[in-house]
A and B are shown apart, each in its own frame.
Chain A
Amino acid sequence: MSEATRELFLGAVRTLRRSTLWWSVALSGYVVLNLAFWPSFENSDMLKSFDDMGAIMEAFGAKDLASPAGYLDGQVFALMLPILMSAMMIAATTAITSGDEDAGRLELLHALPVSRSALWLTRFAGALVMLAVTTAMTLLMLVISIRVFSLDGVGVVDVAGPLLGSAALAMFHGAVGFAAGAAGLARPRSITTAVAVLVAGYLVALVLPIAKTFESARNWSPWHWALGQAPAVDGVSLVGIGGLVAAATAIVWVGSLAIEHRDIRTA
């Protein structure tokens, strides 16, 4: 890695360090708070009654809610944690790429002896560091919480897999936001594009299959590749996660080509 590339990468990491801290606190807090309620719900008939609602609850990723793994899926992995992590990556990648371009902060950097793609790729790499740190912190809090709040039968692998899937999903949507910005969209539109893909993926993976005719549609959704239907209960597919990471990498690569072929916007 050249000194220029290293400086750009470290600059991106430095820029995101405060966000990394706050997102780590937020994601860890969300996990701990939700798992803290497990002892209260453990023997409750309410969770069993949700299971009786069948397909509707599956649209929210809730399946076998009365079991510790099912509770984890319903409360953490099926919806909220992947959404929060994806939101984090979309916000981070667009802030330091299209957001900085909108604000005119890339003008001088692009005039320095560094290629456009190197500048943008190091910024995406900086966002990946943020994702890695927040994922590691969240995993740590998950592992501690399943012990402290007695989610019996749930092991480290049972939470690490879905968390890895959530991180891959976040990387994918961050890549979409990155590529949209690299193609020339301003930050608000880049965010809108990535969020639209996020929501569409959720609908295709979890809502559309309620109608049996569209059950196979979920195979087209990044959500399904990352998390399957009940990640903590059934486990995740490493092939699916690998495919999603590969797709995200391809999207980032396309974005890095796009930035070489257009004007840099002025503020």
Chain B
Amino acid sequence: MKPFSFSKPGSLAKLMQARKDAAQFLAGGTNLVDLMKKNIAAPGALIDISTALSDKVELTGGKLRIGAMVRNSAIATNAQVISKAPLVAKAVLAGASPQIRNMASTGGNLLQRTRCPYFYDVSTPCNKRQPGTGCSALHGENRMSAIVGYNDQCVAVHPSDLCVALAALDATVNVTNAQQKQIVIPFKDFHKLPDNSPDRDNQLPANAIITSIDIPDNPFAQHHAYVKIRDRDSYAFALISVAAALHIQGGRIADVRLASGGVAHKPGAGTKQSSS
């Protein structure tokens, strides 16, 4: 691992001042520390954001606001999440292990990198790791790769379960950019397809930071399911997953949401929303 400096600013303003191009924000570390061990990420400075950003779930004006530093396990056990957006709690519990869920943050879940084996194998070409080198998975070991929205530059998938539920429920991502202005990115626009820049997973502007996620008031708390098909029953990434939610009124389906996971470069690609 390349040596790096370490700092832990106490406020968002100080975080943004500390952010330089060679620096990277550290939240739970469950993905970034691993990437650093494999030399896929080699920041010159780490900025620990764990005390500067919110670790609270709040109900504000009907919206459920999940702070960027809320740990995955805290989402799953939060009473407001369970009553307002139980689909989110179910999706979180379908991912990773209890130890990792105790560490991993909400913001970090969105920003985690693909688990494509070639992305992690630095001896093979990978357009996501090293733009322009080619895609080894395209004709390689790709049974867990994308089946929609891919191109010949990249067939990687986004591995998150949480994000699939957030896509189904029309969440929005609250971001503070490098100029310290707050911007809101709709969840469906946050991640991107590989296009000509598979090295970029999402539309988060350079040096910006996710501060929280909003889930709008929704009628889907009663009827929902998160189904995940994988190689073993627990602690495995999805071959495919689906977040499904129904709004049933008077015995009729008034509204339905379906979002897929584990099949595309962005979670919820092919998300269907329909109103009667």
A and B: interacting chains? no
